Amino acid sequence: MILDADFYYNMLSKDDQEHAQRVTNLSLKIALALGLGGELYYLKRAAKYHDLGKLKITSDILNKSGPLTEAERKEMMIHAKYSGEMLCEVKEDLRVIEIAMLHHENYDGSGYPFRLKGNEIALESRIIRVADVYDALRSERSYKKEFPVDVCKKIMIKEKNHFDPVILKALLNIE
Residues known to be catalytic? 54
What whole-number distance in Å separates Cα of residue 129 and Cα of residue 50? 10
Taking Cα atoms as reference points, which of 132, 139, 142, 141 lies closest to residue 162?
A: 132
- Please tell me whether residue 144 adopts helix, strand or coil conformation: strand
What whole-number distance in Å separates Cα of residue 48 and Cα of residue 5? 9
- Distance, C-alpha 112 to centroid of its chain: 12
Q: Is the dihedral of CA 103, 137, 54, 76 positive or negative?
A: positive
What whole-number distance in Å separates Cα of residue 164 and Cα of residue 130? 8
What whole-number distance in Å separates Cα of residue 46 and Cα of residue 55? 16
**Do 170 and 30 touch, CB atoms closer than 8 A?**
yes
